[in-house]
Amino acid sequence: MRFTYVTLFPNLISPYFEDSILKRAKNNKKIEIDFKNPRDFTKNKHNKVDDYQAGGGAGLLMYPQPLCDLLNDLKKKSPHVHIVFPTPSGKPFRQIDAKRLAKKEHIVFVSGRYEGIDERVIEEYAHEVFSIGDYVLTGGELASLVMSDAIARNVKGVLGNENSLDEESFEDGVLEAPSFTKPNIFKKSAIPSEFLKGNHAIICTLKKEMSGLKTKYFRPDLFLRNVKGK
């Protein structure tokens, strides 16, 4: 899997790949990353990438030409890229999208800064437009990283133990059941006794019940959508 980040600030993104699981994945060539800067595609003297909003409005927007030249160049070199624009007005990014996108060969994340990107660029180039939550970030870089992390861990060979993908939150549309390790008693609170007896069928039933209850309590929206309807 290759991730290309189109950003004015590559240093916001690159350090994330210098540690832990994604560092290993990069070293093992399970994922490759690169960066393209719209400023390198400007044609004006001061390498300006932003301009005033048509019709007024606070803040500046990234204007089309540098981004379009950059994306045309990318598409010419890699015709099969999948282009994603993070923006607060996109559709919600979910685990099911992370799994689906993990099967792509090459994903391009286009990060806006200032007040965002001229809408016509998004219309012309976006295969998908995602929001990572109902809040506004200072730019698309963090959202691109969040999505690429969630996608990367679903790419074959990135996680050491692929079984861990089957039991985690959002598989089957529910939150993961609570899990415990040593000590058996911590601050007067004990691990559920069945967990210590080793009967895997009973533990599995118990975990399913806990997972349903946790989903109902913390995420009634998910519970109504996925559990009640079953």
Applying CB under 6 A, the residues found at the interface with ligand ADE are 86-88, 131-133, 135-137, 140, 143
CA distance 101 to 83: 11
Quick check: helix, strand or coil at residue 176? Answer: coil
Residue 228 makes CB contacts below 8 A (sequence gap 6+) with none
Minimum distance, C-beta of residue 87 to ligand ADE, in the bound complex (Å)? 5
CB of 8 to ligand ADE, least distance (A): 14
- Number of neighbouring beta carbons within 10 Å of residue 145: 21
Nearer to ligand ADE, 57 or 178 (CB): 57
One DSSP character per residue, 152-167 reads HTTSTTSSS-GGGGTS
Both tokens of 25, joined, read 């994945």
For residues 55 and 118, the answer to whether their CB atoms sit within 8 Å is no
Contacts with 138 (C-beta within 8 Å, 6 or more apart), sequence order: 113
Is the dihedral angle over the CA atoms 211, 212, 213, 218 positive or is it negative? Answer: positive
Which is nearer to ligand ADE, 33 or 117 (by Cβ)? 117
**Least distance from C-beta 94 to ligand ADE, angstroms?**
13
How many other β-carbons are positioned within 10 Å of the β-carbon of residue 26? 17
- CB closer to ligand ADE out of 25 and 152: 152
* Closest distance to ligand ADE from the beta carbon of 130 (Å): 6
Choose between 105 and 115: whose C-beta lies nearer to ligand ADE: 115
Contact 130, 147 (CB under 8 A): yes
Query: Least distance from C-beta 117 to ligand ADE, angstroms?
Result: 10
Cβ closer to ligand ADE: 81 or 132?
132
Nearer to ligand ADE by Cβ, of 25 and 101: the residue is 101
What is the C-alpha separation between 92 and 131, in angstroms, rounded? 5
What minimum distance in Å lies between the beta carbon of 76 and ligand ADE?
27
